[in-house]
A and B are shown apart, each in its own frame.
Chain A
Amino acid sequence: MLILEQWINGLALGGVYALIALGFTLIFGVLKLFHMAHGDVFMFTGYIVVSIVVFAFGGLPFFVVLLIAMAVASLLGMAVERVAFRPYRQSDEIIPLISGIGMSLILQNLALLIWGPGQINYSFNVGIGNVSFGGIQITGIRLVILAASIVIVLIFNYWLYRTRTGRAVRATAADPQTASMMGIRPELIILLTFGVGSALAGAATALVGALYGAIYPALGFSMGLKAFAASILGGLGNMTGAVVGGLLLGVLEVFTASYINVAYQDAIAMGIMILVLLIRPNGLLGKAVEDKL
């Protein structure tokens, strides 16, 4: 029965990774750019949300906290795109990559400056207690995380694959010049992509916050690394791949922590990622060759 509990814990953690990875892989799909500050948008959003929600208002329903986090991350993500990436659209691809790393450092140091180097602890009340059935115990937080990630992924999926704007995003990802000839404004789509991709990271911020209730400046780096790993594991630019990669990473970490040693969880997760890439260099769901003409 313990094993079922661990599956649920792993999937809940994986759901959060999947959300961050989805944003990362969406941005990669449209701009062909590794958004090196994606994890830091996640982190910085956490500080802002904790500051305004916990300390200023307190006691807000978790659903509202989630929406605020998504909105904050979305605005922050779009600001990052304007400042760090838009000026370098015509430059060599290494330039925005470096600019992204610079933005990552700026956000980390800004967090250090404003909130200090120490860890800040807080708690979000998700409003659901622990659930037990058939001898297993699951914390309400994990159920909320699982449910919220599923709902958010479904809404995102609908947006990307069933709406006019989602089609425009996919057309722009495939061929920005031809998309512009259809009346689509690529710059608007890029901004929107950062808005939506970062909102997904913002949702993860609220969910991880509910789970761990702790934030520190370097959190963004480790989360960014996990989003990176999950996206690559599933196949860069592939939405289903990002979800599968995120879930796999979460489950792996939970099982490593409980059966081997919590100290090895990152090492084993990364080790498995490297193994997968040795066998499938384009990730689990990545395409072997691009068949474009």
Chain B
Amino acid sequence: MLELHDLTIRYDAGDVVRDVNMTIRQGEIVGLIGSNGAGKTSIMKTISGLVKPRSGRILFAGQDITGTAPSAVPRLGISHVPEGRRIFGDLTVEENLLVGAYRHGRGTHAAELERVYGLFPILAERRKQRAGNMSGGEQQMLAIGRALMARPSFLILDEPSLGLAPLVIRSVFQMIREIHREGMTILLVEQNVELALRHVDRSYVIQSGEIVLEGTPEELRAREGIMDAYLGTGEKH
């Protein structure tokens, strides 16, 4: 469904992502794990058109979408839950969701709202509340709900566990599972390796801008020594 071919990303300081190749098939939930500054967010931003790649191609549903303007990406069926949630703090919860449905044009978007409120009842309770006043976990759910309002076929989640308490992480990931079960194709970025491996079908491991490993959670766990070396997770074992 999504293919990255030899993707290279460069900022002023130099290449941060080099010749990355990735494939995510329809219905899969695929992880991208790697430590701080490995280049995960840069790849996600490139898929969303926020960053223009130096070279390489991005194919979505067989179509070359490299260099598409960010505002045109939701129309392709790709929704992106950005790192750090980036909810609109001064808008109400419901207004945030309605902005998520912007690409559908005018209307009440009652069906989409109902679906999101069904998945996240807490958002229905807080619908009239200022989004910035909610807890981190609630804001993460709002960010996911907002992305779902666009009715995507492909969902990018950039570190949904960031800054959340373990119990909250668990309920956020339960929801991600639920969304995946309903048929969503998901690309999940995580620094938390164990958490990611518990929830994905397959994962890529990125280190300093290069993909160094790829496989199912079992395959990756079997190569624990290498994983530790790449991810610096050794001290945790």
A184 to B90, CA, bound (A): 17
Count A-B pairs with CB separation below 8 Å. 71
Contact of A183 among B98, B103, B106 (CB under 8 A): B103
Using Cβ atoms and an 8 Å threshold, which residues of chain B touch A153? none
Interface pair A182/B91, CB less than 8 Å apart:
no
Interface pair A183/B74, CB less than 8 Å apart:
yes
Using Cβ atoms and an 8 Å threshold, which residues of chain A touch B99? 167-168, 171, 179, 182, 184
Contact of B84 among A168, A170, A171, A293 (CB under 8 A): A293
Using Cβ atoms and an 8 Å threshold, which residues of chain B touch A182? 74, 99-100, 102-103, 146, 150
A174 to B91, CA, bound (A): 9
Interface pair A292/B89, CB less than 8 Å apart:
yes
Interface pair A291/B82, CB less than 8 Å apart:
no
User: At the interface, yes or no: B80 with Cβ under 8 Å from chain A?
Assistant: yes
Of residues 61 through 102 on chain B, the ones whose CB sits less than 8 Å from some CB of chain A are 69-75, 80, 82, 84-86, 88-91, 95, 98-100, 102
Using Cβ atoms and an 8 Å threshold, which residues of chain A touch B146? 182
Total chain A interface residues with beta-carbon distance under 8 A:
20
Interface pair A177/B50, CB less than 8 Å apart:
yes
**Which chain A residue lies CB-closest to B143?**
A178
Interface pair A181/B95, CB less than 8 Å apart:
no
Name the residue in B75, B86, B132 with the highest tally of chain A Cβ atoms < 10 Å from its Cβ.
B86
Interface pair A184/B102, CB less than 8 Å apart:
yes
A175 to B86, CA, bound (A): 8
Of residues 37 through 76 on chain B, the ones whose CB sits less than 8 Å from some CB of chain A are 48, 50, 69-75
CB distance from B93 to the nearest CB of A (A): 13
Contact of A170 among B82, B90, B132, B150 (CB under 8 A): B90
Interface pair B95/A167, CB less than 8 Å apart:
yes
A167 to B146, CA, bound (A): 14
Interface pair A167/B91, CB less than 8 Å apart:
yes
User: At the interface, yes or no: A222 with Cβ under 8 Å from chain B?
Assistant: no
CB distance from B85 to the nearest CB of A (A): 8
User: At the interface, yes or no: A180 with Cβ under 8 Å from chain B?
Assistant: yes
Using Cβ atoms and an 8 Å threshold, which residues of chain B touch A185? 69, 71
Given contacts A183-B72, A183-B75, 14 further A-B contacts (CB under 8 A): A164-B102, A170-B91, A171-B88, A175-B88, A177-B50, A177-B70, A181-B50, A181-B80, A181-B82, A182-B103, A183-B71, A185-B69, A293-B84, A293-B89
